[in-house]
Chains A and B, each alone.
Chain A
């Protein structure tokens, strides 16, 4: 449908006003929210994600696209919830205790949303108990831990240990990322997944949930 392609293009170009107008028009015309979501909003975010991975665009362009996607998503969310449109999975994401740097975490959030997942962003400086509580309350399949600092990344190990010792062990998988984090570190703490960049995070989650 042409209008959905237009929505996707406006998301990709970060034009949130245009996205809102077209999403409103789709709703008036009775186009299904599932199509608006997947063929419009998510498709646009997917495109920008591919261009970001190919170094064709940079972080501001991804952030603008994410803002446009979110503005459309907000409009259809009540109907999505009412119609119980199934999501691809639920992810809890936050930066670990002591770490206040959220730009990397935010970009991963947007990429995961763009890939069609429900993402619950529980913010920065998050203690292990809060990750577990959020995963339990939202029935999440994945906890995503972010850290920018070499000192705070060691807290990821504590979160892993707390998850293993909790009732969500076995049902929730933990992925880790951030500038100082490496595959070797992820292996060492027993994380289920590691990605070196935001696009990679979406791929890892697809593999773990799919």
Chain B
């Protein structure tokens, strides 16, 4: 169901209580008892997983799976699935300027893209009390999967023209994907651009932010919000991230959230950043309570802060740990009131 995302943001900014939106989807597999590989092949199974989580947890929003292989797979990259893990791209399909020039922009119906759009559409229809966000990769991170990450990183110096060719094609595809998420009924998208955290702020500006801005300019409005996620060490990248025009920025546990919040422009939501592996997946309930409470206390002066995981909550994270996360939020909100 379409929601006014401007109102959603304002409600958070004006709320007396702190809200949470963990990037959590795979945890729902414990509720639906489906394997990760089956779920990632089926929009219906994915929607059931999203809905099961929404019924159980008072998250401020829901989100489709963060599977950052889907887009490169649509371009023709080979995907490898292993056990209880999200799929990974193997090899590279862009090896030189010639293959960059001949790279075709795939149709939005390619590969498993349609399943993710179906998941967003079904979840948005079933979940009416909060927005559902789609999730897709950012252009620089996609270029890294198409060219090979080491090569893409080196090409910011060695072959910038070739990299721009790949980025233009990646962005054109992602603009279409973002538009399709919007048409599906989603309230927004989370653009995951972790690779841009490995390059300097100036390079991030040139090879990531300006491309992301074109995606955001295409889709963002009062009914569709873009959150830009970067879980790298991006304390110095906040300016270039903000220049994209995203209404929200999502940070990982590589940054000091308290420090980063000082740099986030007023009016933009800032999400973060409980360690998804060390704390949420592998921590004890007490460790999760301590980390969550500590973060909430440190960020209490910032109305635009939304409690979240530092990145995607990984597959295999026990429900009891997510319970502990939300319990800590409840305790904090009760104490505040």
Contact = CB atoms under 8 A, between A and B. Distances in A.
Interface of A: 14, 55, 57-61, 63-64, 67, 98, 100-103, 106, 149-152, 179-180, 182, 184-185
Contacts of A185: 282
A104 to B, nearest CB: 10
Given A59-B199, A100-B90, A106 B150 contact: yes
Given A149-B85, A151-B314, A151-B316, A58 B203 contact: yes
Contacts, number: 64
Contacts of A98: 82-83, 85
B278 A180 contact: yes
B85 A151 contact: yes
Interface string B150-191: 100110111000000000000000000000000000000000
A151 B82 CA distance: 10
A182 B153 contact: no
Contact of B277 (A14, A101, A102, A179): A179
A61 B156 CA distance: 9
Interface of B: 80, 82-85, 88-90, 149-150, 153-154, 156-158, 198-200, 203, 233, 236, 277-278, 281-282, 314-316
A152 B154 CA distance: 27
Contacts of A57: 200
A61 B135 CA distance: 30
Residue among B90, B277, B281, B315 having the largest count of chain A Cβ atoms under 10 Å: B277
A100 B282 CA distance: 22
Given A98-B83, A149-B85, 10 more contacts: A58-B199, A60-B156, A63-B150, A101-B149, A102-B149, A102-B150, A103-B150, A103-B198, A180-B277, A184-B278
Contacts of A184: 278
A101 B88 contact: yes
A109 B96 CA distance: 25
A14 B82 CA distance: 36
Nearest to B149: A103
B157 A14 contact: yes
Contacts of A179: 277
Contacts of B314: 149-151
A101 B315 CA distance: 17
A63 B316 CA distance: 34
Contacts of B82: 98
Nearest to A101: B88
A64 B203 contact: no
The binding surface of chain A is classed by DSSP as loop
Contacts of B233: 55
Contacts of B199: 58-60
Contacts of A180: 277-278
B153 A59 contact: yes
Given A57-B200, A150-B281, A100 B154 contact: no
Contacts of A151: 83-85, 314-316
A149 B315 CA distance: 10
Nearest to A98: B82
A60 B282 contact: no
A100 B150 CA distance: 13
A60 B154 contact: yes
Contacts of A100: 80, 88-90
Nearest to A57: B200
Contacts of B149: 101-103
A60 B140 CA distance: 13
A63 B153 contact: yes
A67 B88 contact: no
Contacts of A103: 149-150, 153, 198
Contact of A58 (B90, B198, B282): B198
A110 to B, nearest CB: 10
Contacts of B88: 100-101
Contacts of A102: 149-150
Nearest to B151: A63
A150 B198 contact: no
Contacts of A150: 277, 281-282, 314, 316
Contacts of B203: 58, 60
B69 to A, nearest CB: 11
B278 A182 contact: yes
B195 to A, nearest CB: 9
A64 B200 CA distance: 14
Nearest to A62: B153
A179 B231 CA distance: 11
A152 B85 CA distance: 9
Contacts of B154: 60, 63-64, 67
Contacts of B315: 151
